[in-house]
Structure 1
């Protein structure tokens, strides 16, 4: 008799024997792995397991084997199934988990369709849906998703977004699509069995070109950033903050980041504070005649809005006054060298303090790219440089009280041809979407009293091979900031880092020649 196990039941059942096993797993006969093929499974804020989707050996001349495996938080295998797909015709765009169901999102190149499949936590199939009649905009976005995934990104596409599947706890999954030549967007919510729940689309009468990026599901809302332009090639881009009711698809908040004529702002992050019942925006401010994303900003801001969309408060933090007063001396050279800060995450502690995690980057001219362009080549004339980590600490009244600076060796980020003209702010969004920042993730415990910011530093010592160092910044209610560094250097074809159970991270190494994928839990020394 088959007994269905829920995720938590499976985790509890394996909790005792798990302590007796090494916290590693090795998968053989794996022919391909992308970062997006491994999805952490959460209960609350904490990781309770993983689902992996990998390509195995061929089933026969006409079919490929794909392996769907579910592991608990200690990397014990809970369940697994093998799926067969026509050889060379299926490409995974996204693998998502919403707390109750797993979803696989494919492109079927044979039928030229998008396909969705969902499974429960015992890996029993729940639903299937094929989407055909893709327009040119959808096909362009699908190609962007392929390109990003090949760069080990998040599968989210390029500068204007790709084809994504967004998990919403307790409700289902949201799929995006485009109108015509990406002039507008459509959002379709499905439940766990892929039955449509609601649909939200751009206003067909709008004069703007609009793209949407879903960023967070929190409380009863799905949060998004919408970019609006007067035309497809327009360089004037206006950022809007949008909140959608998860249950109904009703848009309840659609506010521009610039709410007065005396503001010149960019938007880095938009979130919701369920304790204060406020929407919170973070970005950078500029001189009125300067161009956001192009000229150097004057500092960063925090804007707060009520659930009804009314402004509650706005506070600016100037680089040369509030920030400079607390900026560590070792951080000042990078600020003076033209690096800007990209907000990677915002967390609020149980003590009411707010922490903003940022990473420095800038865009510079690429000598080789300039030379090739002069010779008629299509290379980019710009490249990105990714640098140091910072944590800004604010008290419950949003007063800046501390800045922590964590230096790391610069790494290079790819800038697509022509994108250098978009300015550094939008390129920061592109680097995030394409997985080129060194920041990996922020872990937090269920009490919101302890946080871990995990990043990678490619340590380049003169005369030595580059080392891959896993950095971890731990902070929280105890008021202490501690740093841990772990050597993650390997000879793997590809390596990926994921959140794990409290006190750990999970490191995945893929060896293409040996066709092996290894997963291991690495203990943080803090």
Structure 2
């Protein structure tokens, strides 16, 4: 997110006056940390600092401490505030930063209300808003959210979302109705500006014949992008994916379109983005034979659909594994597809050379075929499906969308958990759940302001027989020079949990948290390429 000049100016002034940059920080008395507790602050494509939200030790018997700190790009602390709340009554569900304001999203157990607080870039409080009269569905999702408070690194996916919209405000997602296995029957989106003034609301039509759930995917340019899953009932085995674009200022739908345009298509949607250079919306995923079952049958390849700003379909291009992709596909990648892995699109970037790069991570459901099929159909008698995430791929397309290169980076498989209510999702939506819940090994992509150099950062938990598992930080570097380079850094530690974040050019930022000691360390790690 871009930040206004006030905070960056303070950071620059402080850094200039320091003889040595911090590069590391150690914090004591940190009771718990989640991945979303730290937000990078951007100027253009480059990281210029971090905002950290955390829960500290108790202030006294009656009050808990919540902390909000800002650090510059060298991890020098610029400013800090402490917020006190009645002990044991407030739970921080979410935190978000939209480039002009920070938002803290709490559940007040005493009053059974949700509360949002916003702060400007100088960490001065802007506004507070209480939301009462919560329905059964909202209470269910709230309890599920703060039930994970003691699990370091856990985020609750789409539950109780507070979605940041750059330099405009925040969208709160709430729910309507309750179906089997916690399935929601509808959604409500409420936009607030930085002062928490309601701006617009978008909800499931009460007369709709569909059960709907929404996932906000991106806020870019003047649009909010979302995907909606629709089914005829909470028990329905058929789920249809739709792509939706909203105007930021009004909430008006530009379009609400099914990903499948004909009865002859079976597609899984894994990415929906906007290209501000071409002014096009892009939907991506994998395609199957019409009668195939995802996770049981293998996909036939991946697709790209492009749409105009008014939702007109501009073009569809399929890349079949055995046709368009085969010539560029490394042997290891062919074997991974034969082993049942599907590709989830993690990021799509366009280089200054006109090339498009698609970064994908592989995953699959594991177990016996019958158990998988039953769990995906929502059988109450089937054990929950388990999953794996594994290898990373980078697809390069020329300016005319011709596939020119595929790079495959092998990783040790990591286990992932699939809740029963997500088992009904298609392959693309299941991958989206893994991303929301932080279960993928892919971390982020960094790019320079010229869009000529990209760094994809991921984690590989290296499991060598007879040795302790190592945490390896992988960095795939590529760009206009046409070269693809891989760098590996040993990030193994005795931390309870660890997180990686983007950093200033040439670095990543590593956070290690020690639960017993209530200690958190932050350090900048230099990339070798």
TM-score range, shorter chain: over 0.9
SS of corresponding position for 1:249: coil
SS of corresponding position for 1:6: helix
Distance change (3 Å), C-alpha of 1:366 and 1:498: farther
Residue 88 (structure 2) aligns with: 88
**2:513 equivalent to 1:510:** yes
Residue 168 (structure 1) aligns with: 165
Pairing partner for 1:259 from 258, 261, 279: 261
**2:177 equivalent to 1:180:** yes
Distance change (3 Å), C-alpha of 1:312 and 1:422: closer
Residue 59 (structure 1) aligns with: 59
Contact kept? 2:22, 2:76, Cα under 8 Å: no
Q: Give the distance between the partners of 2:410 and 2:36, measured in 1 at CA.
A: 28
Q: Give the distance between the partners of 1:19 and 1:360, measured in 2 at CA.
A: 45
Contact kept? 2:412, 2:462, Cα under 8 Å: yes
Contact kept? 1:283, 1:302, Cα under 8 Å: yes
Contact kept? 1:294, 1:423, Cα under 8 Å: no
Contact kept? 2:239, 2:425, Cα under 8 Å: no
Residue 181 (structure 2) aligns with: none
Comparing 52-61 with 397-406, greater Cα deviation is found at 52-61
Task: State the shift of 1:89 in Å.
Answer: 2.0
Pairing partner for 2:229 from 227, 231, 240: 227
1:288-327 equivalence runs, <5 A: 288-292=290-294, 295-327=297-329
1:364-375 equivalence runs, <5 A: 364-365=366-367
Pairing partner for 1:407 from 407, 410, 424: 410
Deviations 1:54-102 (A, max 9, x none): 1212111111111111111111111101111111222212111111111
Q: Give the distance between the partners of 1:281 and 1:153, measured in 2 at CA.
A: 30
1:328-367 equivalence runs, <5 A: 328-365=330-367
Comparing 9-18 with 478-487, greater Cα deviation is found at 9-18
Residue 469 (structure 1) aligns with: 472
Task: State the shift of 1:381 in Å.
Answer: 4.2
1:372-411 equivalence runs, <5 A: 380-411=383-414
So what's the TM-score if we normalise by structure 1? 0.93
**2:446 equivalent to 1:443:** yes
Contact kept? 1:363, 1:424, Cα under 8 Å: no
Residue 14 (structure 1) aligns with: 14
Residue 435 (structure 2) aligns with: 432
1:103-118 equivalence runs, <5 A: 103-118=103-118
Pairing partner for 1:189 from 182, 188, 191: 191
Q: Give the distance between the partners of 2:325 and 2:418, measured in 1 at CA.
A: 29
Deviations 1:188-230 (A, max 9, x none): 1111111111112222211111111111111110111111111
Residue 45 (structure 1) aligns with: 45
Contact kept? 1:68, 1:81, Cα under 8 Å: yes
Task: State the shift of 1:417 in Å.
Answer: 4.2
Q: Tell me how large the CA RMSD over aligned residues is.
A: 2.2
Deviations 1:237-296 (A, max 9, x none): 111111101111111121110112221111110111111111111011111222456532
Deviations 1:153-209 (A, max 9, x none): 67343xxx3111111112111111112323221111111111111112222211111
Pairing partner for 1:484 from 484, 487, 491: 487
Pairing partner for 2:219 from 197, 209, 217: 217
Task: State the shift of 1:467 in Å.
Answer: 0.4
Comparing 210-219 with 104-113, greater Cα deviation is found at 104-113
The gaps in structure 2 that reach 5 residues or longer are 179-183
Task: State the shift of 1:333 in Å.
Answer: 1.7
Distance change (3 Å), C-alpha of 1:246 and 1:265: same
Residue 202 (structure 1) aligns with: 204
Residue 140 (structure 2) aligns with: 140
Contact kept? 1:93, 1:105, Cα under 8 Å: yes
Task: State the shift of 1:105 in Å.
Answer: 0.9
Contact kept? 1:264, 1:292, Cα under 8 Å: no
Task: State the shift of 1:13 in Å.
Answer: 1.3
Q: Give the distance between the partners of 2:382 and 2:510, measured in 1 at CA.
A: 34
Q: Give the distance between the partners of 2:499 and 2:454, measured in 1 at CA.
A: 20
Contact kept? 2:269, 2:429, Cα under 8 Å: no
Deviations 1:451-499 (A, max 9, x none): 1111100011111111000111111112111111111100011111111
Task: State the shift of 1:366 in Å.
Answer: 7.8
Deviations 1:23-78 (A, max 9, x none): 01111111111112111112222211111111212111111111111111111111
Task: State the shift of 1:117 in Å.
Answer: 0.6
